Amino acid sequence: MTAAPPVEVRGLTKTYGDITAVDNVDLTVEAGDVFGYLGPNGAGKTTSMRMMLGLIRPTGGEVRLFGRDPQDSISALEGVAGFVEAPRFYPYLDALTNLQLLASLDGGEAKKRISEVLEVVELTDRAGDKVGGYSHGMRQRLGIAASLLRDPKLLMLDEPATGLDPAGMRDMRLLVRRLADEGMTVLLSSHLLAEVEEVCDRVAIIRKGQIAYQGRLDDLRREAGLSYTLRTTDDQVAASVVKGFDAVEADPQDDGSLRFHPRDEQAVAELSSRLTSAGALIIEMAPRSATLEELFFKLTEGAA
């Protein structure tokens, strides 16, 4: 019998009066995924995560975590941990005491894992310091430590790198990747493109409550098609040649070069010949894949 996926969402909808925050969302997160739930602020990411964790009730649709409905029973969250928005702690207590209190609520083997999880998030040396004196990045890492007390199979993180400085974002990416490499399934929501591009295997891009894309990043780039950067000895002539060639579409770049999208490989060869004949000798004609930023804006901008 095939095991149920860590996250399976079908037709998930949440309305507040006339406002539809999440609109008929379908998601599947497979075991071992580092899955990015990507979208602009206000797109419905946090509302979706709250419904997935059973914190709010959907207006329609269903959520299954390892085949269990979090609305049915708290036991459906067995093997699941994480946080929505920023993690919260008692600021006047040190990190160790905060984790001890949380472990007491969880019971089982949680207390025995406190030293281990502090080591994982690299806070062992600061465990005796009051959390009120922690930086934002340290509190985020402590939030992950608290989640790991449950020894989860699925870790769900809502905007874990928001507000971090570049070093903090790097540390968060490395931590998430390390947890995934150890076999944990991770679902993280974010509007930070670099964070998702560097750690995630698969993504869903949500726009105004609806899924605009779901799948592997490599597949998304392939769908966008290959483009080329073009620089020549005479970029004005090159622009005129490209404009008169129906087999390519081109966009001028700020640095004076051209970026073009060919219909096929034959179009690239033909364009090379036309440029040479026109006296615009090629300095650079380099293939490049679309960045996640370009794909993201293509999918999320424009009229609804």
Q: What is the predicted pLDDT for the residue at 80?
A: 93
159 and 114 fall within a common domain: yes
62 and 199 fall within a common domain: yes
The H or E element spanning position 276 is: helix 265-277
Contact 232, 285 (CB under 8 A): no
130 and 155 fall within a common domain: yes
Indicate the residue among 221, 236, 269 that finishes a domain.
221
Asked whether residue 293 is assigned to any structural domain, the reply reads: no
User: Which domain does 248 fall in, by range?
Assistant: 226-288
42 and 139 fall within a common domain: yes
Q: Please give the radius of gyration of the chain, using alpha carbons only, rounded to the nearest integer.
A: 24
Asked if pLDDT for residue 125 goes beyond 80, the answer is yes
Q: What is the predicted pLDDT for the residue at 9?
A: 95
Asked if pLDDT for residue 303 goes beyond 50, the answer is no
Contact 114, 149 (CB under 8 A): yes
Asked whether residue 2 is assigned to any structural domain, the reply reads: no
Q: Looking at residues 62-74, what average pLDDT do you find?
A: 92
CA distances from 271 to 231, 239, 255 (A): 13, 11, 21
Asked whether residue 110 is assigned to any structural domain, the reply reads: yes
pTM, full prediction: 0.76
50 and 180 fall within a common domain: yes
164 and 249 fall within a common domain: no
Indicate the residue among 170, 191, 221 that finishes a domain.
221
Q: What is the predicted pLDDT for the residue at 219?
A: 76
What domain count does the chain have?
2
Q: What is the CATH number of the domain that holds 272?
A: 3.30.70.870
Asked whether residue 112 is assigned to any structural domain, the reply reads: yes
20 and 114 fall within a common domain: yes
- Both tokens assigned to 202: 């698969």
Distance, in Å, from the CA atom of 101 to the CA atom of 287, rounded to the nearest integer, reads 55
Q: Which residue has the tokens 């037709």?
A: 11
Kindly write down the DSSP assignment for every residue of 51-93, as one continuous string: HHTTSS--SEEEEEBTTB-TTT-GGGGTTEEEESSS----TTS
101 and 216 fall within a common domain: yes
Spell out the residues 6+ positions from residue 263 whose beta carbon is closer than 8 angstroms to its own: 247, 248
3-state helix, strand, coil in the chain (%, to 5): 40, 30, 35
Helix (H, G, I), strand (E, B) or coil at 77: helix
Distance, in Å, from the CA atom of 214 to the CA atom of 228, rounded to the nearest integer, reads 26
Residue 189, Cβ neighbours under 10 Å: how many? 26
Q: Looking at residues 87-91, what average pLDDT do you find?
A: 92
Residue type, 141: R
154 and 79 fall within a common domain: yes
Asked whether residue 142 is assigned to any structural domain, the reply reads: yes
pLDDT digits (tens, 9 = 90+) for 9-26: 999 999 999 999 999 999
Indicate the residue among 188, 221, 254 that finishes a domain.
221
Contact 196, 203 (CB under 8 A): yes
Distance, in Å, from the CA atom of 290 to the CA atom of 226, rounded to the nearest integer, reads 7
Q: Average per-residue pLDDT in the chain?
A: 86
Distance, in Å, from the CA atom of 289 to the CA atom of 228, rounded to the nearest integer, reads 8
49 and 162 fall within a common domain: yes
Asked whether residue 304 is assigned to any structural domain, the reply reads: no
Q: Identify the band that residue 154 occupies on the pLDDT scale cut at 50, 70 and 90.
A: very high
204 and 268 fall within a common domain: no
User: Which residues on neighbouring strands pair with residue 230, listed in sequence order?
Assistant: 258, 285
Q: What is the predicted pLDDT for the residue at 304?
A: 41
- Both tokens assigned to 7: 């996250």
189 and 281 fall within a common domain: no
Asked whether residue 295 is assigned to any structural domain, the reply reads: no
Q: What is the CATH number of the domain that holds 125?
A: 3.40.50.300
Comparison of pLDDT for 273 and 259, the residue scoring more: 273
Asked whether residue 299 is assigned to any structural domain, the reply reads: no
CA atoms within 13 A on the CB side of 227: 20
The residue count of the chain comes to 304
Among 264, 278, 199, 204, residue whose Cα is nearest residue 236: 278
Comparison of pLDDT for 304 and 279, the residue scoring more: 279
User: Side by side, which strands form the sheet with 227-232?
Assistant: 248-252, 258-262, 227-232, 282-288
Distance, in Å, from the CA atom of 145 to the CA atom of 141, rounded to the nearest integer, reads 6
Asked if pLDDT for residue 205 goes beyond 60, the answer is yes
